[in-house]
Amino acid sequence: SQQGEEDPQALSIQEGENATMNCSYKTSINNLQWYRQNSGRGLVHLILIRSNEREKHSGRLRVTLDTSKKSSSLLITASRAADTASYFCATVNYGGSQGNLIFGKGTKLSVKP
Amino acid sequence: DSGVTQTPKHLITATGQRVTLRCSPRSGDLSVYWYQQSLDQGLQFLIQYYNGEERAKGNILERFSAQQFPDLHSELNLSSLELGDSALYFCASSVGLAENTGELFFGEGSRLTVL
């Protein structure tokens, strides 16, 4: 079952603009992660934010976490054509006896030069 | 390069057949995860192994099985293949467990086409 759900499903912007993607999840979490996937390639970890953190930065990436609303956002500033990819949020699902990382369906970002 | 190696990269087979996908995790990583990615279902967690033991099971069909060997490489076996099994199959690895260590390192995937 999906734990995180990204919104929007697709986003098209011009180079230089900011891109904001949102993720909502259902259950309590220890941390939330964002991954990037270029078309047909493996996923690449971008950033992890822990449940006791509200905001985290990494280069042009800014992630926020609101545990009261069970939501997170990923902001990419000054986007570039090379940022074109799908972006996924992921949380640990404690369904059953063990934890495993569950991904949302992703936001497909297209950055036009 | 994530350090996770998956073979084969592409595989075309017929319905009813059986295939084996192989994954070599990053050096030192004890956890291996298998995911299936299809257009309509997104990225679905299949199964996780930690140091040779099955750790967590997700939406894995009974026709699918996996194991992790003493050298920590893993294999995903898919049998009685159906058209709907066509997908990208990813292997990922991490040092410890997802809930503790966080970051997963993904291979480039094995693209399976069932005709």
In this predicted model, what pLDDT tens digit does every residue of A27-77 receive, in sequence order?
888 889 999 999 989 999 999 999 899 999 999 999 999 999 999 999 999
Residue A64 to residue B78: CA distance in whole angstroms: 39
For an interface test with A, the pick among B88, B103, B111, B113 (most A C-beta atoms closer than 10 Å) comes out as B103
User: Taking a C-beta distance cutoff of 8 angstroms, is the pair B74, B66 a contact?
Assistant: yes
B58 contacts on A by Cβ (under 8 Å): 100, 102
B97 contacts on A by Cβ (under 8 Å): 98-99
User: Taking a C-beta distance cutoff of 8 angstroms, is the pair B77, B65 a contact?
Assistant: yes
- Residue B108 contacts by C-beta under 8 Å, 6 or more apart in sequence? A41, A42, B6, B9
| Smallest Cα distance from B79 to chain A, Å | 23
Residues B65, A4, A53, B107, Cα dihedral to 10°:
40
Residues 13-32 of A with CB under 8 A from B: 30-31
Over residues B47-104, the pLDDT tens digits come to 999 999 998 888 899 999 999 999 999 999 999 999 999 999 999 999 877 666 678 9
Residue with tokens 């099971």: B57
User: Taking a C-beta distance cutoff of 8 angstroms, is the pair A48, A1 a contact?
Assistant: no
